[in-house]
């Protein structure tokens, strides 16, 4: 390390707040050139906020920052990249729907001398970065198809792609295997050897002692001290980094070091990625880790020392009485599905734990959020149901279609023979009803997956304009206030034009029928950046959709309309078309009713 010259990074009296919460309160920090500097502290001590100042993710309210000896008012993500500052956050900042190459070079696309995207150069660079990290990842694989560890490696490759002089790691070790961490350790030592600087945030004390030169301890947004690793012992570091309050009984304990290590182990439990709640012998809450707080939507600071009944009541836990009984029985038990709160669904397991003499010490509750898994399970079941209906509908439609055509032909012949008879009107009614049957059969055939749909790039704006033109007469009949989206950049989707027009015509007509005279309908178009898709929404102030029937509106033959011509297939067909375009159709009804269609944006 080059300690003789000015620090590579220097901060003085830094203050940062998030609304009413003070994250940093007058923090000082120095980073030397060629130094690996550890940052240590409890959750919300201010560690991530400190490094986010260097990446441009947050700005200071007060204080001074020097970088390479020059004062800097504030970094932005762009200026941080320009100054070769790279950071890998504990919460990954990747785009799941695009490839590893595109994630690595987001914001810094490599181009040829002619200004075109140089894909070969980008691919070659990505392969070289993955070789450096000793991982076998397909550069063209989409991030959503990779494991969490592989996604993190892509994030690290992105950081290395700018050839950083300052590399920042924020709590990455929990997501990687020991073999992968060995590669990271070698990378850190290589950085140090080439005179580059590293800031490493970790809750793992052993890591800090393994490779850091110095360590800065933060607590409650304040710097507790900066120590040379060679001059500090682990117990002292634990004491400085982790909060504890010693009672009179604890002060009288013979082994104070064990008490401090207990606090250190509690901090590890709090940072586990799965929800954990620990109860003492009297069924009072001893520890609620951060994952449990998030899953149950609770605040852990108001639950300490409270009975478990308070927790179960506060989060509206299903089968609360049964859970209390099993805890009292000191027996191991599990519940695969429990409703929690308004929409939560969890898996709960309880384990009594004992000491070496088999004395009961308390109970561990392990909580997993399975809401997302259930959503996908329901989606797959619904897809299978629709597929079965589609197969049945297609077969029935083909079987009825031929004899129906024959019947219509004979009715037409009879009408010609009895043109002036009283029976002519009756034959006309028969013909109209048979035609309606034909329309229903045509709708059923829309479910067929046999027909290949020709796809092409389509302009969303142009589709909306043409759909509005088609429905304009119905809008003018009711003097509806139609509000169209403002002009914006061209957004393309990949699809079949007539099918998508059918979707939007159907949704717009539904809104027209739902509103009263002089009602309001608004069409919105917006990009959903993280998912790389476009959302077209149709919002009306009509009669709305009740909660009881909202989950059924996409079922075939279900309808809330009294008209004889309505078959109840419109929204089912719309959903089928949207899903065949790899999109999703959503409904929300409160003060207004919103039907939204999300489709992937077309990229060449």
Contacts of 85 (CB under 8 A, 6+ apart): 54, 55, 75, 164, 165, 166, 168
- Decide: helix, strand or coil at residue 434: helix
Q: Which residues of the chain have pLDDT under 50?
A: 1-2, 245-252, 254-255, 300, 447, 449-451, 562-564
Please state, as a whole number, how many other Cβ atoms lie within 10 Å of the Cβ of residue 406: 9
Spatial distance between the Cα atoms of 366 and 347, rounded to a whole number of angstroms: 8
Query: Quick check: helix, strand or coil at residue 416?
Result: helix
Within a 10 A sphere around the Cβ of 253, how many other Cβ atoms?
Answer: 12
SS (H, E, C) 210-273: HHCCEEEEEECCEEEEEEEHHHCCHHHHHHHHCCCCCCHHHHCCCCHHHHHHHHHHHHHHHCCC
Helices (H), ranges, 133-171: 148-160
pLDDT for 521 equals: 93
- The bridge status of strand 85-88 relative to strand 166-170 is parallel
Take residue 488 and report the two structure tokens written for it. 């914006």
Distances (CA, A) of 23 to 18, 53, 67, 242: 7, 12, 22, 17
Distance CA 103, CA 98 (A): 7
Contact indicator for 213, 227 with CB cutoff of 8 Å: no
Per the CB < 8 A criterion, the answer to whether 198 and 169 are in contact is yes
Task: Give pLDDT, residue 251.
Answer: 44
Task: List C-alpha distances in Å: 331 to 228, 284, 352, 380.
Answer: 49, 17, 6, 36
pLDDT for the residue numbered 36: 93
Burial class (CB in 10 A: 0-12, 13-18, 19+), 95: middle
Can you give the pLDDT at residue 481? 92
Phi-psi category of 358—alpha, beta or left, where left has phi over 0 and alpha has psi -120 to 50? left
Question: What does the block give as tokens for 178?
Answer: 């020991």
**In which order are the strands placed within the sheet that holds 214-219?**
85-88, 166-170, 197-201, 36-40, 214-219, 222-228
Alpha helix (H) ranges present in 418-489?
A: 423-445, 460-477
Alpha-carbon distance values, 365 to 47, 284, 288 (Å): 29, 12, 10
Provide the pLDDT for residue 564.
45
The torsion of the CA quartet 498, 502, 503, 504, rounded to 10 degrees, works out to: 100
In this structure, what is the dihedral angle of CA atoms 266, 267, 268, 269, given to the nearest 10 degrees? Answer: 50
CA distance 77 to 81: 6
The per-residue pLDDT for range 187-211, each reduced to its tens digit, is 999 998 999 999 999 877 778 888 8
- Supply 167's token pair: 């590399």
Nearest to 404 by CA among 425, 435, 432: 435
Distance of CA 33 to the CA centre of its chain: 37
Residue 432: per-residue pLDDT: 77
Q: Give the N- to C-terminal CA distance of the chain in Å, as an integer.
A: 48
Sheet strands (E) in 101-190 = 166-170
**How many angstroms separate the CA atoms of 240 and 108, rounded?**
41
Task: Report strand pairing: 333-340 vs 344-354.
Answer: antiparallel
d(C-alpha 46, C-alpha 37), whole Å: 16
The structure's pTM equals 0.44
Give the pLDDT score at 254.
45
**H/E/C letters for each residue in 293-362?**
HHHHCCCHHHCCCCEHHHHHHHCCCCCHHHHHHHHHCCCCEEEEEEEECCCEEEEEEEEEEECCCCCEEE
Domains in the chain: ranges and CATH: 272-369 (3.30.450.20), 374-445 (1.10.287), 456-600 (3.30.565.10)
The candidate with the shortest Cα–Cα distance to 218, out of 204, 206, 201, is: 201
Count H helices and E strands in the chain, helices first: 19, 22
SS3 state of residue 384 = helix
**Gap between the Cα atoms of 375 and 415, Å rounded:** 55
Number of Cβ within a 10 Å radius of residue 355: 8
Structure tokens at 180: 């992968």
Of 49, 57, 100, nearest to 78 by C-alpha is 57
Decide if 533 contacts 601 (C-beta within 8 A).
yes
Looking up tokens 């898996």, which residue turns up?
Answer: 347
């Amino acid at each position: 390390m080059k300690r003789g010259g000015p620090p590579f990074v220097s901060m003085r009296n830094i203050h940062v707040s998030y609304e009413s919460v003070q994250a940093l309160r007058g923090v000082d920090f120095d980073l030397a050139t060629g130094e690996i500097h550890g940052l240590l502290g409890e959750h919300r001590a201010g560690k991530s906020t400190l490094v986010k100042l260097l990446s441009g993710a947050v700005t200071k309210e007060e204080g001074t920052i020097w970088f390479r000896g020059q004062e800097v008012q504030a970094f932005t993500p762009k200026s941080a990249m320009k100054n070769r500052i790279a950071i890998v956050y504990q919460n990954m900042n990747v785009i799941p729907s695009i490839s590893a190459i595109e994630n690595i070079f987001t914001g810094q696309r490599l181009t040829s001398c002619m200004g075109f995207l140089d894909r070969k150069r980008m691919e070659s660079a990505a392969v070289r970065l993955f070789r450096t990290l000793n991982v076998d990842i397909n550069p063209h694989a989409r991030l959503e198809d990779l494991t969490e560890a592989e996604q993190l490696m892509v994030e690290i490759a992105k950081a290395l792609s700018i050839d950083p002089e300052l590399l920042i790691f924020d709590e990455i070790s929990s997501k990687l295997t020991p073999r992968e961490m060995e590669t990271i350790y070698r990378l850190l030592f290589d950085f140090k050897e080439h005179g580059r600087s590293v800031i490493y945030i970790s809750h793992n004390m052993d890591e800090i002692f393994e490779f850091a030169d110095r360590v800065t301890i933060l607590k409650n947004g304040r710097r507790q001290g900066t120590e040379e690793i060679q001059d500090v012992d682990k117990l002292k570091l634990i004491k400085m980094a982790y909060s504890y309050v010693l009672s009179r009984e604890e002060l009288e304990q013979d082994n104070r070091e064990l008490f401090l290590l207990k606090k250190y182990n509690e901090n590890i439990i709090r940072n586990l990625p799965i929800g954990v709640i620990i109860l003492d012998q009297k069924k009072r809450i001893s520890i609620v880790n951060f994952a449990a707080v998030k899953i149950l939507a609770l605040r852990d600071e108001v639950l300490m020392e409270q009975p478990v009944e308070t927790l179960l009541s506060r989060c509206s836990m299903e089968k609360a009485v049964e859970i209390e009984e099993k805890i009292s029985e000191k027996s191991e038990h599990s519940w695969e599905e429990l409703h929690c709160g308004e929409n939560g669904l969890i898996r709960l397991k309880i384990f009594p734990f004992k000491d070496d003499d088999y004395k009961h010490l308390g109970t561990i509750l392990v909580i997993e959020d399975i809401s997302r898994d259930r959503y996908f399970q329901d989606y797959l079941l619904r897809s299978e149901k629709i597929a079965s209906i589609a197969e049945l509908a297609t077969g029935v439609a083909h079987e009825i279609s031929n004899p129906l055509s024959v019947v219509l032909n004979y009715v037409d012949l009879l009408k010609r023979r009895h043109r002036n008879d009283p029976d002519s009107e009756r034959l006309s009614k028969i013909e109209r009803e048979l035609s309606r049957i034909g329309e229903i059969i045509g709708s059923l055939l829309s479910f067929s997956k046999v027909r290949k749909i020709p796809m092409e790039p389509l302009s969303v704006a142009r589709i909306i304009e043409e759909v509005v033109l088609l429905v304009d007469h119905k809008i003018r009949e009711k003097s509806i206030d139609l509000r169209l989206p403002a002009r914006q950049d061209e957004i393309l989707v990949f699809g079949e034009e007539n099918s998508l027009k059918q979707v939007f015509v159907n949704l717009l007509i539904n809104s027209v029928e739902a509103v009263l005279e002089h009602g309001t309908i608004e069409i919105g178009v917006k990009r959903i950046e993280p998912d790389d898709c476009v959302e077209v929404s149709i919002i009306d102030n009509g009669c709305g959709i009740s909660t009881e029937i909202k989950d059924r509106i996409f079922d075939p033959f279900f309808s809330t309309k009294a008209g004889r011509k309505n078959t109840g297939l419109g929204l089912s067909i719309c959903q089928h078309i949207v899903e065949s375009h790899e999109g999703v159709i959503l409904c929300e009804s409160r003060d207004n009713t919103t039907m939204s269609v999300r489709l992937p944006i077309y990229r060449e």
